[in-house]
Amino acid sequence: MPTALITGATAGIGAAFARRLAADACSLVLVARDEHRLAQTADQLKLRYGVSVEVLPADLATEEGLAKVESRLRDGVDLLVNNAGFGHPGDFLKVPVEDELRMLKVHCEAVLRLTLAALPAMRKRDRGAVINVASVAAFFSRGTYSASKAWVVNFSESAAADVRNPRIRIMALCPGFVRTEFHQRASMDTSGIPGFLWLKADNVVREAMRDLALGKRVSVPDLRYKAIVAIGKLVPHNLAGRVSARIGRR
């Protein structure tokens, strides 16, 4: 039975990955900060799908939390989903530098270190996969969040090229706006986002798993967002960034 480790596994896209992989009969290792919520999520998955679920409480913004998850990955997993992440309300200049550094720790350093921790066992078994959850924001200029997600996309493509093994796949997943707790936790005003731009987390995961099976290195779920990314590459970069910021939040 394959094993998947998912960070940020108790809500949103992470929880959708957990449901999908449990339905596919994968054993799960769930990582999140909230130990009580982790336990509840694990119990629900075990009851519904009858799979083995291990919980690993860890804050990936801390050295202790990162080291704990790195250690578990060195034991070997078949799939790593680097999903943990968050956003900041307000403009770049209004966010405390400590909060910005915490974001970079979770979005960039954690993705780097956990991917590197997982790969040796995958290479030894000659199989495995890593999905690094980025964002459509990676293709537009919207402060540290989009910059960090652009790093995730570039890193994932570079790592996939360096591995040079079709049986070990590394993919950046770049969804648009998804109905999750993300914006509420970040205290973001989403009233300006048109209804047709919202995606469902389960649909995002379904497309991600399809694209992973196809060997894609970057997955942009939904035709609407594929079109947005394509158009964004054709218009001036500064203009695309201003439009993205205006749609994303007031």
Catalytic residues: 145
- 74 near 121, Cβ under 8 Å? yes
SS (H, E, C) 140-190: CCCHHHHHHHHHHHHHHHHHHHHHCCCCEEEEEECCCCECCCHHHHCCCCC
Indicate the residue type of 214.
Answer: L
Closest C-alpha to 169, from 98, 79, 94, 235: 79
Closest C-alpha to 41, from 68, 12, 69: 12
Strand order through the sheet with 128-133: 53-57, 27-32, 3-7, 79-82, 128-133, 168-173, 218-219
- 204 near 16, Cβ under 8 Å? yes
CA-CA-CA-CA torsion sign (81, 205, 249, 32): negative
**Rounded to the nearest 5 degrees, what angle is found at the Cα of 204, between the Cα atoms of 201 and 206?**
110
